[in-house]
Amino acid sequence: MLITTFVFGGCHNGGRIDDGSEEVIDDGNVEEIIDVIESGVLLAQASFEESMSPFRHEYDGADIHSDPTAPDGSRVLRFTYPPGHPSGYSTDLAWVWFEDGGTEVKVEYYFKYSDNFFFHPVANKQVYFDVGDKTNFVLSAVDTNSTGGVGISTVMRIGCQDNNIGITELKTPNVANFAIHPNIWYKVRLYFKLNKDGKRNGILKLWVDDEQIMDYSDVLFNAGNDGNKPFTCLKFDPVWGGVGGPKPNATDYFYIDAVKIWGGPFND
């Protein structure tokens, strides 16, 4: 599988064609939120109660939506997929940028797919991470039988890549299996420590609903000198599928809430 990326100013645009005619929508000042915690520094957080801040978004496919089941408060970030949404494209891009987010990062957020969500058989991407000025790895929900469809079980997968040589890693659960179903909120907690000097010494850990499903210590996040660059951007860029394949015949939604991003080093 090849993950195709388009990089503009350090942030992935989800395959959307940028002809310069669309205005970037600013839902608030992008400010680095600094709060020293017991382990690491809180770089940014978003509850989406009043706006998308500190996230910015670039198109019209995401909005703030009332949800009585929200994990934090009563409003969430919602991405809308209209009927016939093309495969290989996102509906919007919500991103937050850091000049230097460090090389050791923890991320926590909640996600939910709408009832009867049509899962693409290739991948249902959720969040991208940039290292330096390049997209580095992406967390996706991948259907278990590679056929796609409504209401199927999916698993989490992480694809790492180097933009110069293509994909370098595809990481799947190696601790425990975890199935994802529509209309249920799930908590994601991810930890990564970037590799150094092009060596396979990167660390990657993933929990879903506080159950660890991934634990790797040999990850090649980036080859060559890119492995020494810092984390710079987190992007909720839910690209639906790859090139080709089926199209949804009804409106689907993907929801995000309670995002927190910490920079290390960490004590635990």
Q: pLDDT digits over 213-237, tens only?
A: 999 998 887 766 555 778 889 999 9
CA distances from 60 to 114, 126, 149 (A): 19, 17, 25
The pLDDT mean for the chain works out to 78
Q: Which pLDDT score, from 0 to 100, does residue 32 have?
A: 35
Cis amide linkage into residue 248, ω under 30° from 0: no
Residue 64 · residue 48 · CB < 8 Å: yes
Q: Which pLDDT score, from 0 to 100, does residue 265 have?
A: 83
Which CATH fold topology does 41-263 show? Jelly Rolls (2.60.120)
pTM: 0.82
Q: Which pLDDT score, from 0 to 100, does residue 241 have?
A: 81
Token pair listed for 134: 């390049």
Q: What angle do CA 157, 75, 262 make, to 5 degrees?
A: 50
Higher-scoring residue by pLDDT: 242, 240: 240
Q: Which pLDDT score, from 0 to 100, does residue 54 have?
A: 95
Residue 91 · residue 168 · CB < 8 Å: no
Higher-scoring residue by pLDDT: 187, 121: 187
In the predicted structure, residue 44 carries a pLDDT above the cut 90: yes
